[in-house]
Structure formats: structure tokens, C-alpha cells
Amino acid sequence: MKVLMFSWEYPPHMVGGLGQHVYDLSRFLVHQGVCVHIITPRVKYYPDFQEENGVFIHRVGSSYREVENFKSWTFRFNSEAIREAVVINHKVGGFDVIHAHDWLVAYAGRSVAKIFEIPLVTTIHATEHGRNLGLHNRLQQEINEIEKNLALEADRVICCSRYMQEEISSLFGRPLADLKIIPNGVDPEVFQALPERPRFSINDEDKVVFFIGRLVPEKGVCYLLRAMPQVLKAVPEALLVIGGRGPQQKELERLVQNMDLDDRVLFTGFIYNEERNYVYNKARVAVFPSLYEPFGIVALEAMATHTPVVVANAGGLSEIVQDEVTGLKVTPGSEGELAEAIIRILTDDGLAERLLNNATQEIDSVYKWDVIARSTADVYEQVQTRRQIGIRS
Amino acid sequence: MLVLHSHIPYVKRQGRWPFGEVWLFEAMAETYIPLLRSLKKLREEGINVALTFSFSPTLLEQLASRYIQQEFINYLHERETLAADDERYFISRGEIEQARIAAFYHRFYRDIRRDYLIEMDMDIVGCLRQLQEEGVIEVLTSAATHAYLPLLDYTSLQYQVHWGKRVYEHYFGRSPEGFWLPECGYFKGIEDILIDNGFRYFYVDSHAIEGGKPIEVFSGEESVGLEVETFASTGLSTYRPYRIEDKDITVYGRNAMISNQVWSADFGYPGDPDYREFHKHEMRSGFKYWKVTDRNNPMDRKLVYSPEKAMVRAGQHAHHFVRSLEENSREAVKLGFAAPLIVGCYDTELFGHWWWEGVDWLEEVIRELHHSAQLEMITANSVGPAQHEAQVFESSWGMGGKHYMWNNAETGWMWEIIKKVGQEYETLKFLSYNSEISRRTVTQALKELMLIQSSDWLFMVSNNLTRDYAMKRFFDHYTKLLRLSDSLTIGQLDEDFESWLGRVEYEDDFLNLRDHSGSGGT
């Protein structure tokens, strides 16, 4: 089985969670005996061709710079990706499956699959409609259109949660049966490494409440900030660490100043993996108050680091966490419920312990990458067989 | 001089509905066939007609294709059935006015089918050829895939012009004399390629000759970054043709006044309250039952259309148009033009397809022109050599007067690709000498190259209309070209490749000039 993946992100080019996903999926697919080639944008100082963990990585086009016209850059990348695909397709003796991750590589995926008559699988990690809670301008409508045509043209669509399955089906009109749910995975090993010298330090007496993610409104960080005064009243040693950066950062920092929380809230800015592990080591609870979350990989990661979680009952998060069993769930946007749940975990060690044990079991049975890679390889085999007997769903 | 430019991109076997072949079928049913019918009627009345048509090669090839001809018959059957369904539906709801219009559509498509099968023998191109031989019309050719020429590289320009000529010769049995520059896109230098290919004249927009502000022919979504260029006034006039300075070729300039009268969204005829509203249609069938009413009214406040009233308006507008032409020409005479030439250039599909009553209007205009003591219709092939010389501005008839509609922030990346594959083809074409299959591969590569160059993809992306269809077509032809080129370069022309090549030749069988019976293609 030979698969060609198109992905906008691949380490070290990481913007959201996509790069990590494609990285893990591809190396575990190799364990399943799948031959994986990935076409992804060039990164400065990285080779155009590289074999890593048995995965063949092809970097093409210009490296992404934020100043450029993003759409033009994307389409130019697609054209270069097609060029590369044409060449490696004959070198490997023809791919069996094309796998396109998200709209950014939609045209490369669609055209190569069509012209080379190879089945197309796509993973829709999130939708433009969901990310923006609606479509509010021309660009968003265009992206929505591209996502829709990708979802409709693919032989099979993979999504990460029941929530996303329903969203894709209702937005684009593809029957639920064509949309295969394969959850994202987590690899506990990657949370082991610690930094030699973190850029910030946390005192042992601080009871760390940890949020990590992009600072955008859909992540709901402002509700967490507004819950903090109540938390501090009950647990004065509580310290909120906000890991990550994003367009909302300035606004959130102002909010902290206005609430006079400066000494109990720490913004790390961009956070390296080792630093993240360092915080998780100290953290007593991880909180993800998202309004929209296709999957909620962060909650899984927290569970993998043995940190109890509080999550908003939204999207994929609500499917990952079983309330009172593997974590605590609150109503999205409710500061009061957030505060209560955080206080319960910080003050009730028995509860924290119970949640952790259950979470660890769940991780080992459902969210392991080898399980996920096996399901993905199954999808590849199904589309290939269907093509051979002449069915196109 | 009335010049009607007809073009549909190559949509054959590239999607049917909502995007693709249906565009062609609509133009055939609503524009080309009704227009040909009008011309026949006028001839039978003994009216002099001298109309200029340009037909893009992509359109000619599709009209001549057996596949399209058969599918078009199916399309007409579908329309008839849907109209009959609509009629029953409206009757059941007691909506008698709409039911009458549905019955009208039913007859319309039935008659079109009859005319197409019986009068035309499914051969629109043949009808054009015959009309040209009888001197009723003059047919021009255009760029092979309607590429936007001012921004194309030199060798691609040559292919576009050369194949435009070849396709024309194939279908009309003679060499074309006039060339329609797609979108009136002109740059200094294109005339040399036209001259090399034996062309004697071409057409440009009015500001290309007179200077000043370009006519706004296109009123789409507001575009950010549009540069409307003001061209220096030259003191020249479109009332006469000019010889391009030091060159042996004539240029005709479009008359701004009479273009606006028909085109303008604000005060052109098609916006009349009694005319059929283009943008509102019955959801189930797609048929249109409403009139413009008030251009500023939202779609839910349109009144029911009355064909009879609209016909009366079309007659009045035709009368008004011819009077304006007479007025215009009197003014020109006062300015010292002894025999002023008034050139009106329009997209053919405006008449019938966009402006439903446009065909009737045009028919009546031709009738009135015949009776006018002052005016006479003329085609360029009967005009003598130009007495005056001029230089022409780089220009187009698109928004802003220059290249903006096809070259802007949205399409810059497409031009990079167009340029790159054009250069690559130049290397590729020398690899073709060793076998039949390699020759086929290079031939197909040229077709894909030219299909990538269609101005339509750029326009749709700029204009955000059917954008995904355009992007997909652009990328698909690009991928086909790369696969052809890669296989040829590495010499992997095995059985698998050959069977794939066969499928691509079938899908993009554009420029298949093997069959010389006059209606080639499959």
C-alpha cells in the first residue's frame, strides 16, 4: 500500500495541531507496513527531500511567510505539489491512495487523484464555518466552498469526532455513512523531555491551572480569566498559566490588568514542547473552555501527562471527556461552573486521583497511534477495493 | 457595423449542471438558434443584412461535436418536460399568468428543437458557413481558447492565433480576414502576429483609439484595487477605421455611445421594467417568470412577466436605437466625417440569454436599418483600405479599460503558472519525433496548454463566479499537461499510459481537425 499525503503543515512547520497529527499518523502508518510519501511546503534550512521514521518527506514551493497573500501562496503551493506528485508517482510505480489534509491542499489532492485515477481520501480537521462560527466574509465563503467540494469529491472523508461528522454532513450534504470517524491520537512519550532551562519558573507551592492553545476567541480563554477571582478566593495559591500565542493575546493581557490578576496569571507566549512538559509536570489541573473544538487534542495530551482536565461541553472535547469519569465538564461560556470545577479538583485529591486513573486507561485503549493508524490503513484498503470493483461512494 | 462576439469556454464532457455543458446549451437554445432564425426570417422578407459574428474556436468545435449535438437534443427534451410540469403546477395553484408563460416556454423549446433538427440539421456551424457564403454575415475568428492575449508569452500567442485561423479554415473553407481579440485585449505587437497569419483587420474598444475614460461595460462586485486608467486624448475618432502606423492592418474602434445604450446596467435597454428578469427563477425548473419591475427592488418583489408587453418595448427600443444611430451619424457628418462608421460590439450571448428580448430587438433594429434612408449595415470585408493612420493604446473592454479583470491580486499566481508551462512546452515539443505515441502526447500537451490559457478561468476567479469550477479546470488541465510532459520526458509511454492518453484525448478532444467533412469531432 503506497499513499501520497498532501499536508500544509509538517514538522518543523507547525501552525495548529495539523503538523503533529500528520507527523504521528505517517510514522505509525509505516509501522503498519504502509509506504508514506508526504508533500509539504519548503522550510528554510530543511532539506527538500528527507526520510524520517521511514516516511518520505518532499518539501516544495516557497516557505510560508505570514506577510504574503495567503490564498495566492496556497494555490502556488498546490501547483508545486502537483508538479512533485507527478514525478514521484512514476518513481514509486503509482500510488494506491491520495490523502489530502484540509482545504489548503484541496486542489492538489483533487487534481492528482482525478488525473491519475487514484482514490482520494481526505481528512477534514476543522471547517471554516466552525472556526468562525459562521461565514462572515468573501474569503470565508470561498474556503467553505473549497472544503465542500473536497468533501464531496473524495472517495471517503475522515473526521476526528462524531461532532465533526455531523458538522461536515450537515454543511456539505455528504451522508454520515461516507464520513469515517477516526479520533486523533496521543503519544505519551513525547511529554517526557524537559527543558534544560525554562524561560520561566514556577514555584512548588503554586497550584497551577494550565491552559494551552492558540489565543483566539473560539478557545474561550476570557471565561477562564473571569473564573479566576472565585478560584483564588477558595485556593489562594492557584496560578493560571496561559501557554501559546495568538491574535487575542493583547486583549487578554489587558483583561488581566483590569482584573488586577497580574501576579496570579502567567502568559508564556510561544511555548516549546519541553516547556509545555515542564508546566504539565507542575500542573494540578488543565482547563479547556473552548466554544468550538472539532476534536480537542489538548485534552488528550493533558490526560497523557497525568493531569486532570476540566473541559467545556463543546464539540469533540465533550466526546473525549466523560463527565465525572475521565474529567469534569462544564457549560461553554459559564465562568461560575468553570470556577467550581477547578476548585473541586484543586481541593479534592481523591477526585483528582480517580479521574486520572480512568483517563489513563482510556488513552491506552482508544487514542493510541497504532490503533488509529490501523483504522486509517483500513480506510485506504476500502477505497482501493471499492475502486477496483467500480464503486465510488 | 454590428459585431457580435460569441464565446463559450470548452465545457464539453467537463461537467453538465450547474456548471459546464449547460452554459453551452443555454447559449444555443436562447441565443444562437433564435438569432439564426431571425436572420432567416429577415432574408425571407427581403431585408438586407450585413452582420459580423465572431465565433471562438472553442465554441465552433463544440457546436460541431456530435456528442454536444446529441446532448443538446436531450437538454431540449428536459426543458420541454420541465416547462410542461411547471404549467400543470401553476394551473393547479390557479396561477394562470405563470401557467401561460410556462406554456410559452414549452412551445419555445419544442420549436427550437424542431428548427435545430429540421431546419439546421443540427449543424449551426454549417448554417453560419452558408450565411457567410450568401454574404449575409461575415464570420471572424478569435484566439484558439480565448486566451487573454496582452499578457501571454510570444510563442503561446502564435499558437493561439495560428489555431484560431486553422479551426476557422476547417469549418468555413476559406481564410479568415478579421480577428476578434478576446475581450478586445490589445497590446502593441499583436498586430504583427495577426499580419503574419494573413489577417487584415481587428477590433478594439473606443478608448484604445480616442483615449479618455474607458466605457464601463462590466458592473460586477466592487473590486478593491481597481485602477481605472485615463488614456490621453488623441483627437482620433472611432467614426473611421485606421491603418496601424506603418503596418498593413486595419483597426476598428467600438463606438462608446451605442455600446452603452445596450450594455449599461443603469440606463441600457435590458434594465427596462417590462423586460424579463434574468436573476430570478423558479427553483424547481429554473424557468424565469418575472419582469425586472424595478431594478432596485429585491428579488421577492418582482411582478409577473408579460411577453406581449415586453415585445412592444423591444420594438420601441429598436426604433429608439436606430433614431439614435441616425442622430449620431448626423453629428459625425457635422464634425466632418463624410461617411461616418459606427461600430457596435457586443457579446452575442447578451441577446436572448441575458437579455431575453434582445434577439427580437436586434431583428427589429436590422429591419429599421434597412428602411433608414441614412444608414446602411456593413461588414469589414466590404470596407476599402483605411486612409488614416493611428497608434492604439494597450487596452481591453473590461472594467478599468486595461488588464485588471484578468490580472489582479486574485489571479497573479495563475499567470505565473501559465508562463511557466508555456516555456516548458517549448522544450517538450522537440521530444516528439520518434514515435506515433510521442507525437500524440505532444499534440495533447499543446491542447492542454491552450486550455489552461482560457481567459474564462481568470475571469471567473477575479469575479468570484463559479470560482471553484474555474480553479478545478485550471488545475486539472495543468495536471494533465504535467503528466503528459513527465511521461514523455522519461520515455515511459507504456500501455497504461497509452490507454490513459486515449481517455484524455477523448475528454479534451479540442482541435481535432482530422475529419475534413466540415463537421468533425465526435
Q: What percent of chain B has pLDDT over 70?
A: 95
Closest in A76, A86, A146 to B413, CB measured: A76
pLDDT of residue A136: 93
Question: Taking CB atoms and an 8 Å limit, are A86 and B483 in contact across chains?
Answer: yes
Binding-face residues of A in 78-137 toward B, CB within 8 A: 78-79, 82-83, 86-87, 90, 107-108, 110-112, 114-117
Residue B482 contacts A where some CB pair is shorter than 8 Å? yes
Q: Which listed residue (B183, B272, B349, B368) is catalytic?
A: B183
| Whether residue B222 lies in the annotated active site | no
The answer to whether residue B477 scores a pLDDT higher than 90 is: yes
pLDDT of residue B226: 64
Closest in B410, B467, B476 to A114, CB measured: B476
Residue appearing with cell numbers 477495493: A385
pLDDT of residue A288: 97
Contact (CB, 8 A) for B475 and A82: yes
B297-320 average pLDDT score: 93
Classified as helix, coil or strand, B230 is coil
The answer to whether residue B235 scores a pLDDT higher than 80 is: yes
Classified as helix, coil or strand, A367 is coil
pLDDT of residue A392: 54
The answer to whether residue B521 scores a pLDDT higher than 60 is: no
pLDDT of residue B222: 47
Q: What's the rounded Cα separation, in Å, for the pair A371 and B348?
A: 61
Nearest CA distance, A218 vs chain B (angstrom): 28
Question: Taking CB atoms and an 8 Å limit, are B478 and A138 in contact across chains?
Answer: no
Chain A nearest-CA residue for B489: A87
Binding-face residues of A in 173-232 toward B, CB within 8 A: none
Chain B nearest-CA residue for A114: B476
Length of chain A: 393
Q: Which residues of A touch B472 (CB under 8 A)?
A: 107, 110-111, 149
Question: Sign (positive/negative) of CA torsion B268, B271, B277, B279?
Answer: positive
Nearest CA distance, B330 vs chain A (angstrom): 49
Q: Indicate the CATH number for domain A2-185+368-388.
A: 3.40.50.2000
Fold matches, A2-185+368-388 and A189-366 = yes
Question: Over the stretch B490-518, which tens digit does the pLDDT of each residue have?
Answer: 988 999 999 999 999 999 988 876 543 33
A183-202 average pLDDT score: 87
pLDDT of residue A134: 92
Q: What's the rounded Cα separation, in Å, for the pair B90 and B97?
A: 8
Tally A–B CB contacts below 8 A.
59
Q: Which residues of A touch B471 (CB under 8 A)?
A: 75, 107
A75-87 average pLDDT score: 97
Residue B483 contacts A where some CB pair is shorter than 8 Å? yes
Average pLDDT of chain B, as a whole number: 92
Nearest CA distance, B53 vs chain A (angstrom): 36
| All structural domains of chain B | 2-401 (3.20.110.10), 412-507 (1.20.1430.10)
Nearest CA distance, A183 vs chain B (angstrom): 30
Residue appearing with cell numbers 485529591: A349
Closest in B410, B416, B483 to A76, CB measured: B416
Whose CA is closest to A51, among A70, A26, A21? Answer: A26
The structural domains of chain A, with segments of one domain joined by +, span 2-185+368-388, 189-366
Classified as helix, coil or strand, B353 is coil
Residue B410 contacts A where some CB pair is shorter than 8 Å? yes
Question: Over the stretch B171-220, which tens digit does the pLDDT of each residue have?
Answer: 999 999 999 999 999 999 999 999 999 999 999 999 999 998 886 544 44
Q: Which residues of B touch A110 (CB under 8 A)?
A: 472, 475
pLDDT of residue B225: 58
The answer to whether residue A376 scores a pLDDT higher than 80 is: yes
Question: Over the stretch B45-81, which tens digit does the pLDDT of each residue have?
Answer: 999 999 999 999 999 999 999 999 999 999 999 999 9
A330-334 average pLDDT score: 95
Position with higher pLDDT, B398 vs B449: B449
pLDDT of residue A393: 46
Binding-face residues of A in 10-49 toward B, CB within 8 A: none
Chain A nearest-CA residue for B461: A142
pLDDT of residue B220: 42
| Whether residue B177 lies in the annotated active site | no
pLDDT of residue B227: 64
Q: Which residues of B touch A108 (CB under 8 A)?
A: 475
Closest in B417, B479, B490 to A112, CB measured: B479
Closest in B413, B483, B500 to A72, CB measured: B413
Question: Taking CB atoms and an 8 Å limit, are B479 and A72 in contact across chains?
Answer: no
A254-268 average pLDDT score: 95
Q: Confidence band (pLDDT; 50, 70, 90) for B298?
A: confident
Q: Which residues of A touch B492 (CB under 8 A)?
A: 90
Interface test with A, best of B466, B479, B508 (most A CBs within 10 A): B479
pLDDT of residue B442: 93
Q: Where are the beta strands (DSSP E) in B307-386?
A: 344-347
Q: Which residues of A touch B448 (CB under 8 A)?
A: none
Question: Over the stretch A93-109, which tens digit does the pLDDT of each residue have?
Answer: 999 999 999 999 999 99
Interface test with A, best of B221, B410, B413 (most A CBs within 10 A): B413
A206-233 average pLDDT score: 95
Position with higher pLDDT, B225 vs B243: B243
Question: Taking CB atoms and an 8 Å limit, are B487 and A87 in contact across chains?
Answer: no
> Which CATH code of 3.40.50.2000, 3.40.50.970, 3.20.20.210, 3.90.190.20 fits the domain covering A189-366?
3.40.50.2000
Query: Residue B331 has which C-alpha cell?
Result: 453629428
Chain A nearest-CA residue for B480: A115
pTM of the model: 0.89
Question: Taking CB atoms and an 8 Å limit, are A107 and B475 in contact across chains?
Answer: yes
DSSP string across A57-121: EEEESPPP-TTS-HHHHHHHHHHHHHHHHHHHHHHTT--SEEEEESGGGHHHHHHHHHHTT--EE
Closest in A78, A83, A142 to B467, CB measured: A142
- End-to-end Cα spacing for chain B: 35
pLDDT of residue B218: 45
Residue A389 contacts B where some CB pair is shorter than 8 Å? no
Residue B477 contacts A where some CB pair is shorter than 8 Å? no
A202-230 average pLDDT score: 95
pLDDT of residue B330: 95
Contacts within 8 Å (CB) and 24+ apart, B213-216: B213/B401, B214/B395, B214/B397, B214/B400, B214/B401, B214/B402, B215/B254, B215/B256, B215/B259, B215/B260, B215/B263, B215/B397, B215/B401, B216/B264, B216/B399
The answer to whether residue B522 scores a pLDDT higher than 70 is: no
B217-229 average pLDDT score: 54
Q: Confidence band (pLDDT; 50, 70, 90) for B262?
A: confident
Whose CA is closest to B40, among B110, B109, B118, B104? Answer: B118
Instruction: Report the number of secondary-structure helices (H) and strands (E) in chain B.
Output: 17, 9
Q: Which listed residue (B26, B169, B282, B347) is catalytic?
A: B347
Closest in B417, B479, B492 to A115, CB measured: B479
pLDDT of residue A264: 95
